[in-house]
Amino acid sequence: MKRLIDTHLLNWKHSKQRKPLLLRGARQVGKTFVVRKLGESFKNYVEVNFEQRPELKTIFETNLVPERMVRDLVSILKQDIIPGETLLFFDEIQQVPKAIIALRYFYEEMPHLHVIAAGSLLDFAIEKVGIPVGRVTFLYMYPLSWLEFLMALKNDKLIENLFNHKGDTPLGAPLHEHTLNLLSEYLVVGGMPEAVRSWVEEKNALECTRIHHNILDSYRQDFSKYAKEHQVKYLELLFEYALKQLGSKFKFSKIPGEYRKRELLPAFDLLSTAGVLHKIYHSSGQGIPLGAEVNLDIFKTIFVDVGLTQTLLGVEASDWFLSPNESYINKGYLLEAFVGQELLAYSNPESKSNLYYWQKEEKSGQAEIDYLIQKERQIVPIEVKSAKGSQLKSLRHFLETHTKSKYGIRFSSHDFSIFDGVHSYPLYAIFIALGFGFPEKPQTIKNDN
C-alpha cells in the first residue's frame, strides 16, 4: 500500500540536514507501517516498541549519551545499530518521555544515525516534556486520502486520466459516473489502512464496519490514558454526540445533560490533541495567513475519518451502493466532512495544518462558506454542494465582499466546469483543485545501501 508520505520519508532519509524525525498522527493511521516500509531500504532496521518492551525504559533513566544508549540497545536486542546503515525506530515513544528528550542528543552527537519516533498519543507527551527545538523534525500523518485509495485499488489509469484532464471541460458522463461510484466506495470504507486493506482484498462492507467498530473501541480505551478520571465521562459524551452537529457551528449546549462549556471544552481539546476530532476555525477571510484572523470560540468539527464517522453515527452504508445519487444529495454533511479530510490529507505534512471556514450571521441574512484555503497567496472560498441545481448565494456574497479573492471553488457531484468566477470540480477531484502533484507510480522501496 503506497502512501503519499513515502516520498517525504525518502527525502528525509537522504537529506544532508537530516534530524531525528517525529511522526505524528491519530491511532491506526499507518505510522508504523510506513516506517517499516522505509526500513526495507536500509541495511539494518531496528524497531523498539515501548508498549511491548517496557523494560527498555531503564536505558533512558541513567543518562542520555547516545553512544551508551545505542550500546545497551545492541546488547539487549542483539541487532546491529550502525550510523549510516541502520534505521532506528522508537514506536509508542510517549511511554518513555525521556526518550523524546534524548532525540536532541542523537542529533547533536550521532547525526549520521537515522532515528524516527512515533506514538499514537505522542502529542500528549510532547505537551508535558516539550520538544527539542531545532533538534528534531516532524511529519504529520492522516488516514488514506481518496487518491491513495485509488492507488491501493491499482486504478493507475484513472489517476492518470484525472491528472491529465483540464478543469474547464467536462470529463464526460460515463467516466464521471464511474468515478463517482468508486468514490461512493471510499465514503463507506474511509481511509483507515486496515479497512482499506480489507476492502481491497474482500470487498466486504460489513467487514469494514467491523474494523471501524474495533478502531472506535480502541479510541475509547485510550480515554483513561490521557484524561483525568473525572474527564472520561465528558470524553465519552463528546465522542458520542459531537458529530451530531456535523456541518454546523459547534455548540456545547447541544450536548445532552446539564454540562457547562468550561467542563466540556477541556475534554474536547483532548480529543483534538489525540487527532480524533479536527476543529474547523472561523476566520474573517480578509487576509493572509488565515489563522491570524481566527475566532477560537467559534468552530465546526469533523472526525478523523469519514468511514469511522458513518459507523459512529449509525449511517446505513449500503445506501452508497444501492442509491449513490440519492446519497450524494441527502448526505451533504458527510460530503463536507470528506472534503475537510481531503484538505488535510493533501496539506504539507511538514507542519500541522488547520481548517477554516467563514460565516456571516446578521439580521440582513446569513451566509456560510464551508472552507477557506490559501492558494497562490490569495484566499479561496470553497463550497460543498450535494443537491444538483443548488444556488451559490454564499459563495457569490463572499466573492463580492472579499475583493482579494478572485475566484471560488465548488465541490459537488457535478462534472468539471468554470463559469463566472466559480471553478466547479467533482468531489473526486479535490487533489486536482488544490494543484497536488502527480504521484509516483506505486513501487516497492528498494535497498539502496
Mean pLDDT score of the chain: 93
Judge if 263 and 392 occupy the same domain: yes
Judge if 81 and 103 occupy the same domain: yes
Res. 365: pLDDT tops 80: no
Judge if 353 and 338 occupy the same domain: yes
Give the pLDDT mean for 180-199: 97
The pLDDT value given to residue 439: 63
Q: How confident is the model at residue 390 (pLDDT cuts 50, 70, 90)?
A: low
The pLDDT value given to residue 361: 74
Decide if 441 is inside a domain: no
Check residues 279 and 132 and name the one with the higher pLDDT: 279
Q: Are strands 86-91 and 44-49 parallel, antiparallel or unpaired?
A: parallel
3-class secondary structure, 115: strand
The domain that holds 74 is classified in CATH as 3.40.50.300
Q: How confident is the model at residue 440 (pLDDT cuts 50, 70, 90)?
A: low
Res. 350: pLDDT tops 90: yes
Judge if 84 and 172 occupy the same domain: no
Judge if 162 and 95 occupy the same domain: no
Res. 449: pLDDT tops 70: no
Decide if 445 is inside a domain: no
pLDDT in tens, 263-302: 999 999 999 999 999 999 999 998 888 888 888 899 999 9
Decide if 114 is inside a domain: yes
The pLDDT value given to residue 167: 85
Quote the number of domains for the chain: 2
Give the pLDDT mean for 401-419: 94
> Amino acid identity, residue 405?
S
Res. 444: pLDDT tops 90: no
Closest CA to 115 of 148, 147, 82: 82
Q: How confident is the model at residue 316 (pLDDT cuts 50, 70, 90)?
A: confident
Judge if 349 and 249 occupy the same domain: yes
Q: How confident is the model at residue 371 (pLDDT cuts 50, 70, 90)?
A: very high
Judge if 265 and 395 occupy the same domain: yes
Give the pLDDT mean for 360-377: 86
Report residue 77 as a C-alpha cell: 536486542
Decide if 259 is inside a domain: yes
Res. 359: pLDDT tops 80: yes
Give the pLDDT mean for 407-411: 96
Question: What gap in Å lies between CA 182 and CA 3, rounded to an integer?
Answer: 19
The pLDDT value given to residue 168: 87
Report residue 353 as a C-alpha cell: 495544518
Judge if 187 and 287 occupy the same domain: yes
Give the pLDDT mean for 53-61: 96
Report residue 60 as a C-alpha cell: 533512558
Judge if 89 and 153 occupy the same domain: no
Res. 47: pLDDT tops 60: yes
Final residue before a domain boundary, out of 105, 140, 175:
140
Question: What gap in Å lies between CA 345 and CA 148, rounded to an integer?
Answer: 10
Final residue before a domain boundary, out of 140, 155, 171:
140
Decide if 438 is inside a domain: no
Judge if 318 and 394 occupy the same domain: yes
The pLDDT value given to residue 387: 65
Give the pLDDT mean for 138-156: 97
The pLDDT value given to residue 448: 46
Judge if 298 and 328 occupy the same domain: yes
Task: Give residues with Cβ within 8 angstroms of 221, minimum separation 6.
Answer: none
Question: What gap in Å lies between CA 301 and CA 184, rounded to an integer?
Answer: 22
Res. 381: pLDDT tops 50: yes
CB-neighbour burial class of residue 164 (10 A; exposed 0-12, middle 13-18, buried 19+): exposed
Decide if 244 is inside a domain: yes
Decide if 285 is inside a domain: yes
Decide if 120 is inside a domain: yes
CB-neighbour burial class of residue 122 (10 A; exposed 0-12, middle 13-18, buried 19+): buried
- 86-91: strand order across its sheet: 44-49, 86-91, 114-118, 21-24, 137-140
The pLDDT value given to residue 10: 97
Final residue before a domain boundary, out of 140, 170, 185:
140
Judge if 96 and 157 occupy the same domain: no
Q: How confident is the model at residue 45 (pLDDT cuts 50, 70, 90)?
A: very high
The pLDDT value given to residue 288: 87
The pLDDT value given to residue 388: 59
Res. 446: pLDDT tops 60: no
Q: Which domain holds residue 222?
A: 146-433
Report residue 118 as a C-alpha cell: 512515533
Give the pLDDT mean for 44-54: 97
> Amino acid identity, residue 192?
M
The pLDDT value given to residue 363: 67
Question: What gap in Å lies between CA 444 and CA 449, rounded to an integer?
Answer: 15
pLDDT in tens, 62-98: 899 999 999 999 999 999 999 999 999 999 999 999 9
